[in-house]
Amino acid sequence: MLTFNKNYFIFTILIFLMEVLIALFVNDSFVRPYLGDVLVVILIYCFIKAFLNLPVLPVALFVLVFAFTVEFLQFLNIVEKLHLEKSKIARTVIGTSFSWIDLLTYIIGISIVVFAEKYWLKKEIKLKLIS
């Protein structure tokens, strides 16, 4: 179960860098609020898969539930309740504003993961049959 997958780790680093660049340099009404949320669930998925050899669907569902939980905590104003409103890190990581659309972006991100995994797994099976 515990493993190190170089490909997922590289994806994790690349997506993390994209998220940092978006946070630092993009202040628009689409990329930062929506694409950033799509990417964050893909980032978490790749991070988990970099270190744990688990099936796609359980990891994808775990990440989706985790993202929904964080969003629900935003609904409850958890940053303020923990008196972390002055912490830029806490406000950035946990977030401060609940949005129903964020839940949809998380679903889109996990759907991309599941679709990509299914496509690549089929591709790998075909390659094994040929060689």
pLDDT the model gives residue 127: 45
Secondary structure (DSSP) of 13-65: HHHHHHHHHHHHH--SSSIIIIIHHHHHHHHHHHHHHHHB---HHHHHHHHHH
| Contact indicator for 2, 51 with CB cutoff of 8 Å | yes
pTM score, whole prediction: 0.86
What does the pLDDT look like over 57-116, one tens digit per residue?
Answer: 999 999 999 999 999 999 999 999 999 989 988 887 888 888 999 999 999 999 999 999
Per-residue pLDDT tens digits for 21-48: 998 999 999 998 899 999 999 999 999 9
For residue 125, pLDDT over 50 is answered with no
Q: Which of 96, 101, 110 is nearest to 66 (CA)?
A: 110
Taking the C-alpha atoms of residue 30 and residue 46, their distance in angstroms, rounded to an integer, is 23
